[in-house]
Structure formats: structure tokens, C-alpha cells
Structure 1
Amino acid sequence: MARSESGARPSEARQRLLATATRIFYAEGIHSVGVDRIIAEAKVTRATFYRHFPGKEDLVLAYLRAADHAIRNQVDLALAADLPATDALRAVAESIARDIRSAGFRGCAFLNAVAEYPDPDHPVHQAVLAHRQWFLDTINTVLARIQETEAEAAARQFVMLRDGAMAAGCLFDPALISETFLRGVEGLIRAHSARRPS
């Protein structure tokens, strides 16, 4: 069971609230969902909600932290196998392709959230930027193991391929989109590897 930032096990009510919010926020959007609905579907009292989350924004940030944690674990798992850098990058790409093909896929939770919070100073917007910077830095690190001088540009290209696939994957055939994404990543790996000094 996951532990809270303080190290204590989160209460069952908090977990229910977060699981309910995660399901509804991801499926329907954040602004369209009120606290009353989350309280009702999580089967907790209003007092219980406010004991765990002082306001809706705190719940939204917890939702994004949980999504960030899940993606970091997924990427860490792909990178932990001590594979060559090209295979590690393929493993990350495969995990993204699996997500696109999963039931109920509705795009990137972070891109969806930032569309609802366009103010760059808003804490939700900042949480999205922090997650995206971590992902870019992680891909950059893997690509630098192949060829360092062009790694940052290649990492940005990988992230753009991912963003496009995540957006298209909830609009069109997810199998076709994930295949197209994986082919794009293969092309990126080949091009980046070809720049490696001999």
C-alpha cells in the first residue's frame, strides 16, 4: 500500500476519495466535476473530504501527484532492466503504446489538466510542467547514452511524438496510433544512433 508524504499509510477514506477523483477527472475533466459528486461517489462525509483535502485544488494536485508517481514507476521499471540505451528507450515507448491501447484511454492526464489550467502561475499548471520536465530530462539522459551532443533535441522530438500519440490515441484507432508512434520512435533511434561518433 502506498504511503503518504509523511510516511504514514493513507486512510481508506482518503484512498477512496483519490481513486474516485482520479476516475472521474480522467474520464470527464476536472472543472466539470464538483466536490459534492466526488463525496457522494466515494461514500464519505463532507467533513471527511475536508479533513483530507482542504479544497478541490488540493485533490486535483493529489490526483496529478498520483499520476506522476505511476508514470515514474512505469518508466523506472522500463529503465531498471539495465538494457542498452536503445532498448531502454524502446521499453519506455512500449509502455506508452500499451497505455494508448488500454481500455478507457482518454489521452495524457497532464495535457488534459493543463488545458483546464492555462495560467502558468497556477499550482496545477506548475505540477504539469514539473512532470513534463522530469520526463524530458529522463529521456534526454537515456538518449545521451547513445550520442550526447544531439540528445536534447532528440529528447524533445521523443516527447513530441509521445504527445501526438497520446492526443491521437483517444480520437482514432489506438492500435494504429500506437504502431505509428513506435515506428516514429524507431526512426528517431536510428537517426540519433547514426550521429554517434565513430
Structure 2
Amino acid sequence: MQELVGVEGSGSELSGREKAYLYVRDQVLTSPAATGSFLNEQELATRIGVSRTPVREALLMLQAEGLVEMVPKRGAHVPAMSGRQIAELMELRGVLERHAASRALEVGQVPIAAMRSALAAQEAIATGRRADDARTFIDWDGRFHQILIDSAGSDLLTRTYAGLRARQLRVGLTALGASDRQHGVCVEHQAIIDALDVGDEALVHEKINAHLEFTLQILLRA
């Protein structure tokens, strides 16, 4: 189960609001197809197995995070991400990932094995043609980067980065749909691992920047 970022009271038993929040954030809003659509509260409630009230509460929470817009008499609208918002997302990712890499190198806790394992899973599915292969590839992409972030040993950093998940999944799937990006992603991930393995901080930063810039340029052209 994904970490319940921004929702209090998470535990073994999730409330209806928490279930609705997680479902909409991680299953609905991550899809590029959701962009521009209005979400039907009753349909969501039926799919999740809760009443409309917790769905409405979850949508209000997502509105506070800027992931949906509540339009009077229309409901929850999923706005498109502007070029500026995408660029800001990539810039923020770069700041967080470079810091995490520097911290991991400083304390000698670079998660090389875990990152290699995540990359191997990506490579195994990179040429897949099933309907859900792109989503699985992007899920592993997120894990690859989250592993690096977690290695910094900062709960706040981990939660902040995890909170970007819905936006990252959406732009990641958009980038895959706009180009044959899987192979390039794997090559760039390997370059980050190699730089971490030799302990070259400047090179690690360079490879992280290059990886994010490639994705950004594809998204801005999409």
C-alpha cells in the first residue's frame, strides 16, 4: 500500500475518506486520460465502496493540494499541468534528488543494490506491450528515485518527495506516450548508479540533471 501522505490517522484500518483519497490520488489522477475531465462523486463512491461523503472530503483534500479544482455545479475538475508547472516539478525533483545523493555519499549509505534491483525490474518490462506495462514501468521508475531519496535518512524529505507521486506518475506516463522513452530512461538510470558507485558527487548531480532535462523537453513538446 502506498504511504498515506497528507492524511492523518493512517494505520491498518483506513477510514472511508482515506480510502477515497488514496484511490483518487494514486489510481485516477495519475492517468493522463484524467486530464480535463470532471470526476463523478457517485461513480467514485461505488468503485471504492464508500458513500459520497468521504469521496467529497477526499476531493476537498486533493483540491488543497492543487490536484483538482472544485467547480460550482460541475464538481471536481482535473486540470492540465502547464509547461511552467511541469518545469517547476522537475526543478523541485532535481533539488531533492541531488540533496539526497549528496547526503547518501556523505554518510556512506548509497543504496546501489536496491537501485540496481529497481532498474532491473524496469529493464525487464521496458519492451512490454501489455496495456498496463507502461504504468508498471513508471511505478518502478518512481521506486528507483524514491530509493535514492530515502537513503538521505530524512522523514520530511521522504514524505515531501512521495507527495509528488501523483504528478510524477502522470507526467511520466505522458512522456512514455509521447516517445519511445523506456530505453533512454534505463540508460540514464544506469548512468546515475554508475556515478554513485564511483562516489563522484558532481557527476551524480550531472546525471540527475540530464535525466530530468531529457524528460522535461519531451513533456514540453508533447
Task: State TM-score, norm by structure 2.
Answer: 0.36
Q: Kindly indicate whether structure 1 or structure 2 has the higher relative contact order, using CA contacts under 8 Å at least 6 residues apart.
A: 2
